[in-house]
Amino acid sequence: MSVTPSPSRRVALLTLGCARNEVDSEELAARLDAGGWEISTDADGADVVLVNTCGFVEKAKQDSIETLLAAADTGAKVVAAGCMAERYGRELAESLPEAQAVLGFDDYTDIAARLDGVLAGERFDAHTPRDRRELLPITPVQRQSAKVVVPGHATVDEHTPAHLRTVLRRRLDSGPVASLKLASGCDRRCSFCAIPAFRGAFVSRDPQELLAEAEWLARSGVRELVLVSENSTSYGKDLGDPRALEKLLPQLAAVDGIVRVRASYLQPAETRPGLVEVIATTPGVAPYFDLSFQHSSEPVLRRMRRFGSTEKFLDLLASARKLAPEAGARSNFIVGFPGETRKDVDELVRFLTEARLDAIGVFDYSDEDGTEAAGFDDKIKVKEDTIKRRYDRLLTLADELCNQRAEERLGSTVEVLVDAIVDGEVEGRAEHQAPEVDGSTTLVAGDEGVDLAALKPGDFVRARVTGTEGVDLVAVPVEMISAAPVSRR
């Protein structure tokens, strides 16, 4: 008896937003692959375009809408998933008839069947959004046993030891860097942030599972791991070990084939001295501090429901640089938060001027649905023209300060991972440069020991900084630290 093969079905996975979303997309890709779907990241010729949306701020939401509309123009059936879909559900479905389905996180485990249905012409009722924090126990240590869908945390067989489980992930690119999701959700209650409501309470991944995934990534040619989450400094609190990240970082750095591990999304109030020391001094761990400061004026931070001050933040940076003088540091800041005064802005300017950050993100405040700050008395809201003026001032200052910081690195030696070679130009990143957000390093020919023409993506070299272009560096490779595996050549 012959079996009629299933017709070919092609889905394009388009990912918007942060690196956490990219990891979620690779979980979706693995599930779709197992369900018989061909996977691509190009909408042309696809039967279904699945857009993993971002719902963080207004611009990100607008980008998601535009991507969904553009996908509909290809003639493919369009499905919205991800944060915006989870956050708005039925409202998004009603306002976007071009999408055949708006799927929430609970649909991820059956994503292949959902797309089969979409292709067959079925219509799915969009979910009614809910506060996903309420799905998990309040006590962190009780969350590991809860049966809740958490994107990026799926296991094929929970009865198999974590280090032996099949990795439920399919890479969507072949570059030498990949994100590794430590955890999902957040227990903080920042008054401007809606993320915990649609991403849920904080849940760590098993360290053995993370190590197994790191080994799997390394076998696929990954050379640098970027650890991502909503709040990496909380890692392990639901596992009964608040020092879990300090222990995990050296283990990840020791994975065969991995030359650099980079931690991101650190909360200043939770960044303990022991963690600072591990990041600053562990071989194979980038001395890089991605710290979520958001502001430095105490009155503004208190209204944000955050902790710290200019002096405390400067002390934290100083403690890192005492251990690693060339350590990289970056952060994001919100200007125009309700109640912000000229004095508060001046305090933020003082902090930025003294902090010597390598990268500074500046955002103008806007109300986010469902947040505490959106409900603040209008009397303390900062006028839009004032917000714009402050934003422009801070953005100009940030550019100047980051350029100066890059110039301070002239003559220094940096360790560069080669990311790509385009039209003969060798692009990579030094220790203080995270993918996509912190600038890059262009390697150029010199008289010293490395043949530029022989370099390949994944090579890890020591280089001398000879120039800058804004925040970007120009450097001459002087020594090969670790060549990419032959399989990448």
In tens, the pLDDT along 150-166 reads: 888 776 666 777 677 78
Tell me the two tokens of residue 374. Answer: 């959106």
Residue at token pair 């099949």 = 166
- pLDDT exceeds 60 at position 98: yes
Nearest to 52 by CA among 26, 30, 34, 31: 26
The reported pTM is 0.94
Known binding positions for [4Fe-4S] cluster: 18, 54, 83, 186, 190, 193
Residue type, 485: P
CA distance 124 to 105: 14
Half-sphere exposure of 14 (CA within 13 A, CB side): 23
DSSP string, 272-290: -HHHHHHHHHSTTB--EEE
> Which pLDDT belongs to residue 156?
62
Q: Which pLDDT belongs to residue 61? A: 85
Is residue 486 scored above 80 in pLDDT?
Answer: no
- Listed residue (135, 106, 239, 108) closest to 182, CA to CA: 239
Confirm if 49 and 74 have CB atoms less than 8 A apart.
Answer: yes
- Please compute the mean of the pLDDT values over residues 118-147 and round it to a whole number: 91
CB distance 10 to 47 below 8 Å: yes
Which parts of 232-391 are beta strand (E)?
260-263, 288-290, 328-335, 359-364
pLDDT at 120 over 70: yes
Q: Examine the pLDDT at 88 and tell me if it is beyond 60.
A: yes
Size of the chain, expressed as the number of residues it contains: 489
Please report the domains of the chain, with CATH numbers, ordered by start residue: 10-127 (3.40.50.12160), 141-408 (3.80.30.20), 412-482 (2.40.50.140)
Q: Mean pLDDT over residues 217-232, rounded?
A: 97
Query: Can you give the pLDDT at residue 4?
Result: 41
Residue 2 — pLDDT band, cuts 50, 70, 90? very low
CA 452/CA 427 separation, integer angstroms: 11
pLDDT at position 155 is 67
For residue 250, with 0-12 CB atoms within 10 Å meaning exposed, 13-18 middle and 19 or more buried, which class applies?
middle
Give the phi and the psi of residue 50 in degrees, each rounded to 5: -100, 115
Q: Is the pLDDT of residue 12 over 70?
A: yes
| pLDDT 10s digits, 311-341 | 999 999 999 999 999 999 999 999 999 999 9
Answer whether 348's CB lies under 8 Å from 335's CB: yes
Q: List, as residue ranges, the binding site.
A: 18, 54, 83, 186, 190, 193
> Which has the higher per-residue pLDDT, 153 or 251?
251
Contact 176, 458 (CB under 8 A): yes
Q: What was the pLDDT predicted at 157?
A: 65
Q: Indicate the pairing of strand 460-469 with strand 472-482.
A: antiparallel
